[in-house]
Amino acid sequence: MSTASPDTLIFATGALAAVSLGLPLLASAWPWQARRIGLLGLPLAILGLLAAVGLFLDAAPGMDAPAVRVGLGGWEAPLGVTLHLDGLALAMLLLNALVALAGSLYARGYIHTAAGERQFWPLWLWLWGGLNLLVLSGDAFNLFITLEIASLSAVALVALTGDTDAVTGAMRYLLINLLGSLSFLLGAALLYGEFGVLDLQLLGELADDGPTVRMAAALMLGGLLMKAAVFPLHVWLATAHASAPAPVSGMLSGMVVAAMFYLILRLWLLIFAPLGTPALAVLLGLLGSAALVWGSLQALRAPRLKIVAAYSTVAQMGYITLAFPILILHPAAWPVVVFFAFAHGLAKAAVLMAAGTVQKAAGHDRMNALGPVLRARGRTVFALGLGGISLMGLPLTGGFLAKYLLLEAGLLAAADTTTIMQVWTALWVVMVALGSLLATAYILRMVAPAFAAGERNPGGHVSAGMEWMPLALAVGAAAMGLAGASLTGLLEHTTVAA
């Protein structure tokens, strides 16, 4: 007997959406208090979110469907827009809230002029809110608008630094985002033309393996892969991520990219899973492997700390891409993607924010001149190292858990497939190992100067939040390895097309 009634959950879902829209709106209307609105609102939103997770886990065993579906305006699909809250969505909302809260506390010290704050905070809340709305949306057209809201706020935040690289990066990022969104929208239009509905779950029930679904899948997933910076569509990522203000870099690498993979996974689970073929698996596997190697090599020779971290995102996205061929062969393996997104999101946000702290203290982030600052700032180096260890996938960290699950799924997938696919799967397993090795190399490159003998100089002043927030995120990433079971429990209640 569950204590939570469906009405409470419906209210909670609506309230999550309203808060995700209301906080940024308030901050935009009154930017003079936007920082306060954010720093008060985000913790409250997290509390509400945790309550919603509790309610959901309480009620889920008794629900006949694994998701709370709210027809906004009182109109059910297909006429209205539906919010879709299930275990997968809740997990992503949690990741978003955690990275955003850490980023907010970090930004409190990072952005210190009053004029800068008035521009930063509304856009920052829009990024958080837009991603929330994206995760909650269950409607193909509505997803297009939320994608645009999230991208536009992200682009504006990247440009906020105001230097040439940042604005150039923002412009590239904007164009690639617009292209990706339009491609997604065209796919949605084709689906609507064939089936006359836009609701993802209804589409999943109607979709077949016909030409429309194939073309729509190519357009929608292609657009999202572009936004997720999957090789070879990754060129824009390093500039945009590396030149943004540090909390924004953390959010972009930690959450925005993950949200695109979330959406790919969601569309895959609901609509496009029947399209999975060995050929597609091989293609995705090759793209993932290429991203892994290329991104790592770039990270090994990049001249600046934040660029190393940004290229590491390209490499780590290669891992997530590698998970897709495995889940084509072994569909039950999909939670691996979420584990990766979680482990990478927390760890990479930690690394980028720590890099931002180093940059602020030293006044630059050129790799060959960071030694004195790194030697003097133990906390930040510890955050860099701990986040890095999770990215490498050393045992007990979240990264380890994710890679372990990926390898396990790979072996399971290999068990029941043809010989040729077994060879491919073996190659992917080797790639996972190689990727960890390369990650170790570039992480060591980041932290090694701290352990060499030499001058120590803490550099300029940084706020407490800028020291502690990367550390908190890194500890969170490491602790993921222990808390993995509860995430699995949440993900069990996710809508998957039959």
Partner 1 sequence: MIESLDPGTLYPFGGAALFALGLHGLIRRRHLILRILAVNIMGSGVFMVFLGIAARGNAPPDPVAQALTLTGIVVAVSATAFALALTVHLARLTGYAVLLPGPLQTHRDSHPDDR
Partner 2 sequence: MNAALLTFDFVLLAGLLGVAWRCLASTDLFRAVVLFITFGLLLAIAWVRLEAPDIALAEAAIGAGITGALLLVTLERLKHIMNRPRTDTDHDPAPPPDPVASDADAPGAAPTGDAASRAADAGNAALSCAPAPARGRWITLVVTVGLAGLLMATLATQEHDPGLQPTVAEHMDVSGVDHGITAVLLNFRSWDTLLELAMVLLAGLGAWSLGRHDALPARPTPGPVLPGAVRLLLPVAIVTGVYLLWAGSHAPGGAFQAGAVLGAAGILVSLARPHELPDPDPRLLRIGVTAGALLFLAIGLWGLFAGPALLTWPSELAYPLILIIETGATLSIALTLVALFIGGRSPREDT
CB proximity list for 283: less than 8 A, separation 6 or greater: none
Q: Does residue 52 belong to the site contacting partner 1 (CB under 8 A)?
A: no
* Contact region with partner 2 (CB under 8 A), list: 37-45, 152-160, 245-253, 390-398: 152-160
Q: Which of 40, 47, 50, 163 binds partner 1 (CB under 8 A)?
A: 163
DSSP 8-state secondary structure symbol assigned to residue 79: T
Window 43 to 72, contacts with partner 2 (CB under 8 A): 70-72
Q: Among all chains, which residue has been given the structure tokens 């057209």?
A: 141
Q: Does residue 210 belong to the site contacting partner 1 (CB under 8 A)?
A: no
Q: 379 vs 445, which CB is nearer to partner 1?
A: 445
Amino acid at 353: M
Token pair for 428: 């992917």
CB of 495 to partner 1, least distance (A): 23
Q: How far apart are CA 136 and CA 96, in angstroms?
A: 12
DSSP 8-state secondary structure symbol assigned to residue 330: S
Q: 26 vs 275, which CB is nearer to partner 2?
A: 26
Q: Does residue 279 belong to the site contacting partner 2 (CB under 8 A)?
A: no
CB of 245 to partner 2, least distance (A): 12
Among residues 91, 101, 83, 104, which one has the least CA distance to residue 35? 104
Q: Choose from partner 1, partner 2, none: what does 304 bind? Cβ within 5-8 Å by kind.
A: partner 1
What are phi and psi for residue 84, nearest 5 degrees? -125, 110
Q: Does residue 172 belong to the site contacting partner 1 (CB under 8 A)?
A: yes
What are phi and psi for residue 81, nearest 5 degrees? -95, 135
Q: 80 vs 278, which CB is nearer to partner 2?
A: 80
**Residue pair 266/491 in contact by the 8 Å Cβ criterion:** no
Q: 170 vs 354, which CB is nearer to partner 1?
A: 170
Amino acid at 350: A
DSSP 8-state secondary structure symbol assigned to residue 85: E
Residue 70 CA neighbour count, 13 Å, CB half: 20
Q: How far apart are CA 34 and CA 28, in angstroms?
A: 7
* Contact region with partner 2 (CB under 8 A), list: 150-158, 315-323, 452-460, 478-486: 150-158
Q: Choose from partner 2, partner 1, none: what does 366 bind? Cβ within 5-8 Å by kind.
A: partner 1
What does the chain come to in residues?
Answer: 498
Window 5 to 24, contacts with partner 2 (CB under 8 A): 7, 10-11, 14-15, 17-18, 21-22, 24
Residue ranges of the alpha helices (H) in 60-210?
Answer: 87-110, 114-136, 140-159, 164-195, 200-206
Query: How far lies 443's CA from each of 136, 384, 385, 435, in Å?
Result: 35, 8, 7, 12
Window 340 to 379, contacts with partner 1 (CB under 8 A): 364, 366, 368-369
Q: How far apart are CA 358 and CA 466, in angstroms?
A: 10
CB of 79 to partner 1, least distance (A): 8
* Contact region with partner 1 (CB under 8 A), list: 25-33, 94-102, 154-162, 441-449: 154-162
Q: Choose from partner 1, partner 2, none: what does 4 bind? Cβ within 5-8 Å by kind.
A: none
Q: Which of 179, 215, 282, 293 binds partner 2 (CB under 8 A)?
A: 215
Query: How far lies 497's CA from each of 132, 268, 272, 438, in Å?
Result: 23, 9, 9, 37
Q: 120 vs 342, which CB is nearer to partner 2?
A: 120
DSSP 8-state secondary structure symbol assigned to residue 365: -
Over the window 61 to 90, marking each residue x when it contacts partner 1 by CB under 8 A and - when it does not, the resulting string is ------------------x-----------
Nearest-5° angle of CA 284, CA 286, CA 291?
95
* Neighbouring-strand partners of residue 67: 86
Q: 194 vs 467, which CB is nearer to partner 1?
A: 194
Q: Does residue 232 belong to the site contacting partner 2 (CB under 8 A)?
A: no
Q: Does residue 460 belong to the site contacting partner 1 (CB under 8 A)?
A: no
**Residue pair 66/87 in contact by the 8 Å Cβ criterion:** yes
Q: Is the peptide bond before 331 cis (omega within 30 degrees of 0)?
A: no
β-bridge pairing 82-86 and 67-71:
antiparallel
Q: Choose from partner 2, partner 1, none: what does 28 bind? Cβ within 5-8 Å by kind.
A: partner 2
Instruction: Write out the residues near partner 1 by the rule CB under 8 A.
Output: 79, 141, 144-145, 148, 152, 155-156, 159, 162-165, 167-172, 174-175, 178-179, 182, 185-186, 189-190, 192-193, 198, 238-239, 242-243, 302-304, 306-307, 364, 366, 368-369
Binding residues (CB under 8 A) for partner 2: these are 7, 10-11, 14-15, 17-18, 21-22, 24-26, 28-32, 70-75, 78-81, 114-115, 118-120, 122-123, 126, 133, 141-142, 145-146, 148-149, 152-153, 155-156, 159-160, 164, 186, 190, 192-197, 210-212, 214-215
